[in-house]
Structure formats: C-alpha cells, structure tokens
Amino acid sequence: MNDSVIDYEKFSAADLVARVLHDTQGPACLTCSFQLEDMVVLHLLRRHQPDIPVLFLDTGYHFAATYAYRDRMAREWNLNLVNLTPVQSVAEQEAQFGLLYRSDPGKCCQLRKVEPLFRSLVKYDLWFTGLRREQSPTRKDLKVVEERERPGEKAQIKVNPLACWNWWLVQDYAAKHGIDPLPLYEAGYKSIGCEPCTSIPSAGADARSGRWGGTKLECGIHTE
C-alpha cells in the first residue's frame, strides 16, 4: 500500500475499511477494549471479515462490567475473540512489585498491555483501531492510515477509521445499528480502561482525562 498516492482522509469510515482490506491482502486484526468506538469499527469490519481476530488486552484489572460485556458481545456476535494476557498473573505481579498501578503506572501498562499486544501483533499486516483525534491532546495529529515498523519486525499498516469522528457521530452510528454500549457509560465514564486507573472525568474535560488520575493520557501502545 502506498498512502502517498491515495488520500485516505477523503474516504468515509466504511469506504476506508473496504479499501484498505482490498488493497492489503495480508491478515488483519482489531484491538478492542469494547468501548463504543471499537464496537463501531468492529461492526464495519465484520461486513467484510466476520471472523476477524478481535484482540482484547486482558490485564486482569478491568471492571467486572467490561468482562461481562465482552463475553456477551463475543457470544452474540460470534466473535473470534483473542484474549491477550501478560506473562505474570495479577497475583504474581503484585507479589513481586506491589501495586504497580499506583507506584509506577507506566511499568504496569508496559507489562500488562504493551508487551502482550506487540507479541501478538507480529502476526498481522493490518491493525485496526478505534482511535479518534478528539479523545485527547495526544491524539490530535492522528492519521487515518499509518505505516509502522518496529525493529526486527515486518512493516505493518495501522488503520484508524474513526480518526476524524466526534463522540456524537460514534453514538449516532451505534444507535442506528443497534449496538448496545458498555453500561459503564451510563455511570458517566468517557474512556474506560483498567478499574484502578479509570475515573469519571470532570465536566468539559477531554474523555481521557479520567485515566491514570490525570498523571498521563496513554498506556504506551499508541505512543511507542
């Protein structure tokens, strides 16, 4: 794929998904935390690849409601769910390091999210996400299609079909297509990750300001 020739910014999300899947014939996956953006992208992808691998980072620290919703949607949509787990269990990590999510959240994310994901991503040529520019200042320059290559690994295409969408468009698409959102949104959460590191953001603040007690905005996956 040569994104210097094609202006992917002009494509609708649905057309972008179709075009990228057509142009790149290698294996594709979606990283999915089961937030609403991810469910919208998954809905678009399943039109073309109903069995696309859905990679869920099972950190062991998610809300019970997230696990319940994951299991329900996996069953109802017959998903090809791939649960990615860290080398250490929660108990093993806490026995060695204590509560890393308090003392060193960056290291906790590295061990429980970044490393498990990148061990798995090497299998895929296409990586779809639900990232949006509106979510936080760290994502304001997000590209719709990005080429990425880590040392010693093959090049990979990262696709963010909803990069230019606002929250209203996400909600509207979900409502029109009957996508039930994760119930935690009803409680006021805007960006939902591990339970110890997720809080309800202040009124008017960006969606990810409630993550990690405001000490950071990214786990490291998208800022490597």
Distance CA(102)–CA(98), nearest Å, equals 9
Exposure string for 63-76, b = 16+ CB within 10 A, e = fewer: bebbeebbeebbee
Reported as half-sphere exposure (CB side, CA atoms, 13 A), residue 5 has a value of 3
Check 29, 108, 194, 219 and give the catalytic one.
219
Catalytic, 108? Answer no
In whole angstroms, give the CA distance from residue 95 to residue 83.
23
DSSP per position, 51-108: T-EEEEE--S-B-HHHHHHHHHHHHHTT-EEEEE--SS-HHHHHHHHS-HHHH-HHHH
Residue with tokens 């994310």: 109
Active centre residues (catalytic) = 219
